Every structure is written in C-alpha cells, then in structure tokens.
Amino acid sequence: DAKTTQPTSMDCAEGRAANLPCNHSTISGNEYVYWYRQIHSQGPQYIIHGLKNNETNEMASLIITEDRKSSTLILPHATLRDTAVYYCIVGNKAAGNKLTFGGGTRVLVKP
C-alpha cells in the first residue's frame, strides 16, 4: 500500500479556508485517496475521497494533482469544531480496502 506524508501540525484562523497538503508519490493507478478526521479520541470520521478527479461535498473539497502524487484537502470556512487530526490515506478497493493510517496533521482552528 502506498504511504502518505503530511505536515505534523498546522494552525488556521476561524472563518478562513484551511488547505491541508498530502504527498502520496508511490500511489498506484487503482488506489483512491481518502481523508478522515479524528476529533479528540472519537472514531475517525470520513470526509471525502477521490481517484483522479477533484471532488466536493458538503464538508470539504479534494484537489488531486494530475500526476496523482499529491492532493490537498480544503475546508472552505474553518470553524472551531474543525479542530482535529486529519488523516490522508490511500486505499485499494480491490485488496479489501485496507487503510493505512499515518500520523496525520493536527489542525488547530483559532478564533
């Protein structure tokens, strides 16, 4: 399974867009990019996923580069409740869809 690299931590201002980068240079053609977040010690919460096209839902947007070696999660208007650890993960649906969690990015939204 491809590994991902994320910044350890980042701060962002409440009401501003938060851009979370992720590198996955060894991603293979049939692997998806997934984003989850974990607030406190709760179970991870699904945010969004994509294969090669950019995706948007009610929570966030996912921008995947054309070579698929990196992606960016965008939270359009960060709120204090978005403070969490954000995980970027690549997974292969054909291989049991196992997810390998790295250390994630600890995001602190400040007022």
Our finding on whether 110 is near another protein (CB under 8 A) is no
Per-residue x/- mask for another protein, residues 50 to 79, rule CB under 8 A? ------------------------------
Q: Which is nearer to another protein, 2 or 14 (CB)?
A: 2
Sign of the torsion angle spanned by Cα atoms 22, 102, 51, 1? positive
Interface residue with another protein among 29, 42, 53, 66 (CB under 8 A) is 42
Bridge partners (DSSP) of residue 37 are: 45, 86
Q: What is the per-residue DSSP string for 21-32?
A: EEE-TT--TTEE
Position 8 contacts another protein (CB under 8 A): no
3-state SS class at 88: strand
- 76 vs 103, which CB is nearer to another protein? 103
58 in the Ramachandran plot: left (φ > 0), alpha (ψ -120 to 50) or beta? Answer: alpha
97 binds another protein (CB under 8 A): yes
Residues in contact with another protein by the rule CB under 8 A: 34, 36, 41-46, 49, 87, 93, 96-104
